[in-house]
């Protein structure tokens, strides 16, 4: 049994899945979220204990803000005496953990931290260097993140564990129930695209809407299922109303994670215009459901999408090119749709099975702990 302090900055479904899985291997796990995020009563997995710092920290503050949290974090380490700290994102949780001097530290990238924020300014670059320099191991979900980290720190491959965060086998399938009619009435003649990304600037929902609007002018049979919510809600709603798209851009709001498979099955294709991404869980969910995908031409997405074979890649920020690819997806023949469906389901089954891939992370735990013991 390993005593693990899992240190993050949110209570997302992603974190819950990690905590649940780590605990299932018999480890003793504490969860520290120093942002003080609200936590539903049933959110914390069974057997995992929550700990707090005295000061609540905002997400994505400048790294200098987090330096003052180091003494509190060190005090918590003395109290808990963990065998290993698993921390990320890099410039907040990872930075604090590295400054504390604790070892072994497994640094976990959330994608945007290493791919986007590491180059925000000199302060963020330095925090990234410190975090990577203090890590015994590095955990990421895609080649893009691994290569970016290795350009900053001389990380040996033996100390890097890379695996897609993946999806649970059998949860996202083409066949099964769709949303009830009081939530969605499907037009059998229409082509439905689905987006499940948050309404935040990094996901470029504005570009998505402009692309849909352009494609819709060429094909009035298109529809958009725009799930989610976020800080750009006002701008998004205004765009939809201004361009008279309210009847064809459907906004069900935030959909509970257990209901997502129904919504994916209601769609004919998936779209994401994100400016930066690691291995996108929503992309894998769409592929597992057998959908063709239209997504941004990023290194992380190229690991999963072959242009014209199982989806399309468009330049970041180009509404015109995204619209063009949406029209291609809408014009697929029945045979082409079936071929892509089989292909995407197979890719996810072979490469993104959460249960099959997760032991690699546990192997890294053991490797880091064995090395720590040898150094004593």
- pLDDT averaged over consecutive 10-residue blocks of the chain (376 residues)? 95 92 97 86 91 87 92 97 98 98 97 93 97 97 95 92 90 96 95 97 97 98 97 97 98 94 98 95 97 97 96 98 98 97 97 94 96 84
Q: What is the pLDDT of residue 56?
A: 85
Q: CA 109 to CA 88: how far, in whole Å?
A: 6
pLDDT in tens, 21-45: 999 999 999 999 988 877 777 889 9
Q: CA 91 to CA 73: how far, in whole Å?
A: 15
Q: CA 151 to CA 285: how far, in whole Å?
A: 31
- Output the CA–CA distances (angstroms, integers) from residue 249 to 18, 77, 187, 214, 322, in the order listed: 34, 49, 13, 13, 16
Tokens 């796990």: give the residue: 29
Phi/psi of residue 283, each to 5°?
Answer: -65, -45
List, as one string, the DSSP characters of 158-181: GGEEE----B-TTTS-SSS----T
Q: What is the pLDDT of residue 168?
A: 86
Q: What is the pLDDT of residue 212?
A: 98
pLDDT in tens, 238-273: 999 999 999 999 999 999 989 999 999 999 999 999
Count CA within 13 A, CB hemisphere, residue 320. Answer: 0
Q: Quick one: tokens of 245?
A: 């798209």
Q: CA 19 to CA 108: how far, in whole Å?
A: 13
Q: CA 206 to CA 317: how far, in whole Å?
A: 9
Instruction: Set out the domains of the chain in order of their start, with CATH numbers.
Output: 3-163+358-375 (3.40.50.2000), 191-351 (3.40.50.2000)
Q: What is the pLDDT of residue 376?
A: 74
Residues with Cβ < 8 Å from 228, sequence gap 6 or more?
195, 196, 197, 198, 199, 253, 254, 255
DSSP H helices, the chain, are 13-24, 63-67, 70-80, 95-100, 112-115, 122-133, 143-152, 205-218, 233-242, 260-266, 281-288, 299-302, 319-330, 334-351, 354-357, 359-375
Tokens 């209901």: give the residue: 259
Q: Are the CB atoms for 87 and 94 separated by under 8 Å? A: yes
Q: CA 72 to CA 89: how far, in whole Å?
A: 18
CA-nearest of 325, 110, 112 to 203 is 112
Residues with Cβ < 8 Å from 99, sequence gap 6 or more?
67, 70, 130, 134
The neighbour count for residue 125, using CB atoms within 10 Å, is 16
Please provide the size of the chain in residues: 376
Q: Quick one: tokens of 6?
A: 């899992």
Q: What is the pLDDT of residue 231?
A: 94
Quote the DSSP letter at residue 353.
B
The neighbour count for residue 7, using CB atoms within 10 Å, is 25
Q: What is the pLDDT of residue 375?
A: 81
Count CA within 13 A, CB hemisphere, residue 362. Answer: 17
């Amino acid at each position: 049994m390993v005593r693990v302090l899992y240190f993050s900055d949110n209570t997302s479904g992603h974190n819950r899945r990690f905590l649940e899985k780590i605990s299932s291997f018999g480890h003793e796990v504490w969860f520290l979220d120093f942002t003080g995020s609200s936590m539903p009563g049933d959110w914390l997995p069974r057997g995992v204990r929550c700990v707090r710092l005295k000061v609540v920290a905002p997400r994505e503050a400048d790294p200098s803000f987090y330096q003052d949290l180091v003494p509190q974090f060190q005090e918590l380490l003395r109290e808990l005496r963990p065998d290993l700290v698993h921390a990320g994102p890099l410039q907040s949780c990872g930075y604090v953990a590295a400054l504390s001097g604790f070892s072994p530290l497994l640094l976990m990238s959330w994608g945007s931290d290493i791919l986007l924020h590491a180059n925000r300014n000199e302060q963020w670059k330095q925090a990234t260097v410190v975090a990577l320099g203090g890590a015994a191991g590095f955990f990421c979900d895609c080649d893009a993140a691994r290569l970016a980290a290795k350009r900053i720190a001389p990380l040996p491959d033996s100390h890097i564990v890379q695996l897609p965060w993946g999806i649970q086998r059998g949860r996202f399938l083409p066949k099964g129930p769709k949303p009830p009619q009081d939530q969605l009435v499907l037009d059998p003649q229409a082509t439905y695209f689905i987006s499940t990304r948050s309404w935040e600037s990094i996901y470029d929902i504005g570009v998505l809407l402009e692309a849909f609007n352009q494609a819709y002018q060429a094909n009035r049979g298109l529809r958009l299922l725009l799930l989610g919510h976020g800080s750009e809600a006002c701008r998004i709603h205004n765009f939809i109303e201004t361009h008279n798209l309210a009847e064809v851009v459907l906004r069900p709001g935030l959909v509970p994670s257990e209901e997502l498979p129904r919504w994916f099955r209601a769609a004919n294709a998936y779209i994401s215009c994100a400016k930066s991404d690691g291995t996108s869980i929503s992309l894998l969910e769409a592929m597992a459901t057998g959908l063709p995908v239209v997504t941004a031409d990023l290194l992380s997405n190229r690991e999963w999408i072959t242009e014209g074979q199982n989806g399309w890649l468009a330049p970041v920020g180009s509404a015109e090119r995204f619209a063009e690819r949406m029209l291609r997806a809408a014009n697929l023949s029945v045979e082409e749709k079936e071929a892509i469906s089989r292909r995407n389901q197979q890719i996810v089954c072979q490469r993104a099975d959460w249960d099959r891939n997760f032991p690699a992370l546990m192997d890294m735990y053991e490797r880091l702990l064995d090395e720590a013991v040898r150094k004593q």
